Chains A and B, each alone.
Chain A
């Protein structure tokens, strides 16, 4: 597959420059040689430039500055800069340095891909660095291909491309063909030529399965709801879709927890069932309360035994001596229980952190509200419904208006810093140093503020005229927050006293020995009240927001999210407190862990029921009212924020209950599955897409962070507290008779040490490293240091980008300096050499043009590096190195 790089050298001009490259050691020498190369080339390609120049100068002199086919050839010698001491990643970047041109004409595309193929081949064959220095200089050849129309006809270019393609492996070749922006007919011609020279390509097609749709069926099976998600995206755009994607993420997280617990705990306990209590009859109410029939089942903590499962002694009474030896592989259920829960939390944590970081990376670019991106990258081509298309248009229109007004008033951000240290960029740049100091163009593109911020700023500016109004607004805001917090604390107090009261009532009922139905129904009251509060309070908060009159829809959404989150979290904290202190939990002789599990189950079920009710009343009935009574075409909007918060709340309940009810993730999965279909149906029938502008990628980052930070971390803290310092029940569950759950692990280590002296080191590690706070301290310090380091790297890259942007701006200002050249002059200068002609026209000198191209590319590279910081430190270093 890997051929020697000889093919790159068979071009006519290639041999000339081979010997001339001094392969310099420092940047300065490098650039001189670079310069030489340019001069040398300029004599070779006069004809091409002439043509180009004529046509160009007729239009506008500034146009010469574009890195199009011609400029590209000039900046191409940047590849000669490759230095033996650079890493291969840097070399690759340098090899792709010249700015690209696509879409000119068929010939240009073919020749460009020809070059790209050559590059690909070189990369895949990986010659030693010394060789690469020479081989990676296809500049002359490329120039030839792109600008000399007489020599390289279309047919010839095609032939060259085929030749290049032939040297690739079949899979690479097919992939290359696939990615080319050529029409199908053209591709078929190429392929016919290819197969003519190499024999039929067909047998290789399966090699590139991962690139082709043919390789996708497996993936498509794994991805559930593919079609449903597309349908939603098609009708409502990516904002509503983000809710469903979030739901899918949750489902995946639960699936992993569920799978781990199922495999290592539940199934084994089911295979070795403990001596069972006679089960209560199934009535049906259990599905709601989780009590009764379910109490002694795999669903709850209390059912699990503390025995070693395949130990024959367990069946005999605890006092008797066991005659048989222990089995070779004892399965200690308490340990399995502890570790499975721990591992499932760990897996969830890793998945969460991964998705948070990915979503951050995705949204890092979008957070700057570039107008250009708004214009070109907001149209959702998926949307095919007339109403949604109209809505999208309106959305874009308002966004543009807001942004444009904002940026019109917004003062230009100060240029970050004047670039002083661009000397290594080359002789041209050295000359520019002085001018750089003098001229500063606005880097308007670098920092356009966020849409909302702009609006807020704009409004606040208009407000600042009347201080009274401003003060009034502040007072209103303050009052609203006080009111909201007051409401929240009121709710919490109410829940607290109410649950105490209900506990008393329940005890009485039990004492009176009233019917089971009644007893169980009473259990449902507290979850009902909590869910009711959770359902009603958001509407109250919305009323508050109406009163507040927030400046921008963005702030409004965030304030609503924060308030709802506070409410939900405070109520959950109260409940956790009540569970752990066992103040309102079932009587002491019963298993309190099971009671907590049941409580959580009830909360989840109630939450689900309320979501259904909300869907029914808030969406279906409301739509019917709107349609039948008010005769409007409008439909209820799908409130993404509220719905996502509900999901987060449900997930927190699941995480809290994982120790007390190992099958809770399964219940949650079931709930999510049902929710998906119900919400989807309701959405399709009843709703319209939200009218507020909604930045999908940014909001999903916020949501996944919320899921990670208060929800998951809170649940983890709660569980760690339970495991480390709460005494488990005396007479039920896998940890009965222990002081804390954590002790089971500790005692196991001791047993292990005793039984097998060979692994004392393990006990030592456990005692000295895991239990040692000092080590934990050092580990956390190291982690923080790594994070700090990463932040600094990102910041450094931002600074580099900033500098590069300024340099680009400056170089281009230089180019605009003397725009006096007209078409008449162009004909006169036809006979001069290229360099002189450019000077005559008062345009960029060749170095400058090349510099601009390179600057743009290095900026791109640094931005790339910023976007995917952990992946390619080499890129960032490269960009810094060039400064």
Chain B
């Protein structure tokens, strides 16, 4: 019943949420109760969550977790946890993904992707193999290209406008497939 309640708000199956709960429970068996009907106030720290196989190799793992945590510190309650997998599932719409992708790339959470954010993004994308000059050059170019309103940084409108030109975006921002679910069907 509880899972059903949650699945109303999410792009996930009820069974997927049950399975997600299993994964959540697995990470800290003595903290997370199996019975969630009373909606206990439990949060898992970021260190546990970024060690999940889905996130482990992702260069943006910390940002992903932070974007979905209610307190902004990176610890996720089960609700946040489900939120994360719902938005990064394949059924979530483009707009929702764009919003969270923007949050992920917005490192300093000032609601703009500024130069510092861009530099961090680039470093993570290339494993810091670009030189500092190259990075600045790319940053300038990116801002020049995508900044429509001329404030020297990218707001969400800029970001969304840019994403609308990238046909692959929707298929790329998928973190997780519920494997057993898909297998059954």
A residues neighboring B (CB under 8 Å): 60, 62-63, 65-68, 99-104, 174, 177-179, 181, 183-185, 187-188, 191, 205, 212-214, 216-217, 220-221, 226-227, 230-231, 233-234, 238, 362-366, 368, 370-373, 375-386, 389-390, 393-394, 396-397, 400-401, 404, 407-408, 444-445, 448, 696-697, 808-809, 812-813, 815-816, 852-853, 856, 859-860, 863-864, 867
Contact = CB atoms under 8 A, between A and B. Distances in A.
Contacts of A220: 182, 185
B105 interface: yes
A816 B150 contact: yes
B169 A66 contact: no
Given A376-B121, A393-B126, A816-B150, A183 B79 contact: yes
Q: Max chain B CB contacts within 10 Å: which of A371, A381, A808? A: A381
B141 A386 contact: no
Given A102-B99, A366-B166, A377-B168, A184 B6 contact: yes
A368 B162 CA distance: 12
Nearest to A363: B167
B146 to A, nearest CB: 4
Contacts of A60: 151-152
Contacts of A99: 157
Contacts of A696: 168
B177 interface: yes
B172 A378 contact: yes
Contact of B7 (A103, A213, A372, A404): A213
A178 B9 contact: yes
Interface in B76-118: 77, 79-80, 82-83, 88, 91, 93, 95-96, 99-103, 105-106, 111-112, 118
B84 to A, nearest CB: 10
A852 B155 CA distance: 14
Nearest to B93: A179
Interface of B: 5-14, 16, 53-54, 56-60, 70, 77, 79-80, 82-83, 88, 91, 93, 95-96, 99-103, 105-106, 111-112, 118, 121-122, 125-127, 129-130, 134, 137-138, 141-142, 144-146, 148-152, 155-157, 159-169, 171-175, 177, 179, 182-183, 185
Given A220-B182, A381-B172, A408 B57 contact: no
A366 B167 contact: yes
A852 B147 CA distance: 12
8 contacts: A66-B112, A184-B6, A185-B70, A191-B8, A220-B185, A371-B141, A375-B118, A375-B125
A860 B13 CA distance: 34
B185 to A, nearest CB: 4
Given A221-B185, A375-B122, A366 B130 contact: no
Q: Which 10 A-B pairs have the closest CB atoms?
A: A812-B150, A220-B185, A377-B166, A445-B145, A372-B146, A184-B79, A365-B165, A227-B182, A397-B126, A362-B167
A397 to B, nearest CB: 4
Contact of A380 (B155, B160, B172): B172
A455 B176 CA distance: 36
Nearest to B126: A397
Contacts of B169: 377
A184 B57 contact: no
Contacts of B167: 362-366, 697
Given A62-B150, A184-B79, A370-B145, A102 B172 contact: no
A238 B168 CA distance: 9
A400 B126 contact: yes
Contact of A400 (B10, B101, B130, B174): B130
Interface of A is mostly: helix
Contact of B9 (A188, A396, A397): A188
B145 A448 contact: yes
Given A66-B155, A101-B157, A213-B12, A379 B60 contact: yes
A648 B112 CA distance: 47
B69 to A, nearest CB: 9
Contacts of A364: 167
A171 B54 CA distance: 33
Contacts of B59: 379, 389, 393
A226 B138 CA distance: 37
Contacts of B164: 365, 860, 863-864, 867
Nearest to A815: B150
A63 B59 CA distance: 30
A363 B168 CA distance: 9
Contacts of A233: 171
Nearest to A188: B9
Contact of B83 (A183, A221, A371): A183
Given A67-B157, A407-B141, 5 more contacts: A66-B149, A183-B70, A812-B149, A863-B164, A867-B164
Contacts of B111: 103-104
Q: Is the interface of B mostly helix, strand, loop or mixed?
A: helix
A100 B185 contact: no
Among A377, A386, A394, A813, chain B packs the most CB atoms within 10 A around the CB of: A377
Contacts of A216: 13, 91
Contacts of A365: 164-167
A362 B166 CA distance: 8
Nearest to B169: A377
B165 A444 contact: no
Contacts of A181: 96, 99-100
B183 to A, nearest CB: 5
A816 B148 CA distance: 13
Nearest to B129: A397
Of B79, B163, B182, most A-chain CB atoms within 10 Å: B182
Contact of B57 (A179, A191, A372, A385): A385
Contacts of B146: 370, 372, 445
Given A103-B102, A373-B162, A384 B57 contact: yes
Contacts of A101: 155-157
Contacts of A205: 8
Contacts of A66: 112, 149, 151, 155
A234 B165 CA distance: 23
Interface centre among B70, B80, B160, B177 (most CB of A within 10 A): B177
A606 B19 CA distance: 46
Contact of B53 (A103, A384, A812): A384
A198 B175 CA distance: 36
B145 A444 contact: yes
Given A188-B9, A404-B138, A404-B141, A62 B148 contact: no
B127 to A, nearest CB: 5
A376 B162 contact: yes
Nearest to B133: A404
A389 B125 CA distance: 10
Contact of B174 (A363, A381, A697): A381
Given A103-B99, A375-B118, A381 B11 contact: no
A102 B162 contact: no
A65 B70 CA distance: 30
Contacts of B93: 179
B155 to A, nearest CB: 5
Nearest to A224: B185
A183 B155 CA distance: 21
A178 to B, nearest CB: 6
B175 A382 contact: yes
Contacts of B88: 381
B101 to A, nearest CB: 7
Contacts of A856: 148-149, 157, 161
B105 A217 contact: no
Contacts of A217: 185
A444 B146 CA distance: 10
Contacts of A65: 149-151
A372 B142 contact: yes
B13 A214 contact: yes
B125 A393 contact: yes
Contacts of B83: 183-184
B50 to A, nearest CB: 13
Contacts of B105: 376
Nearest to A181: B99
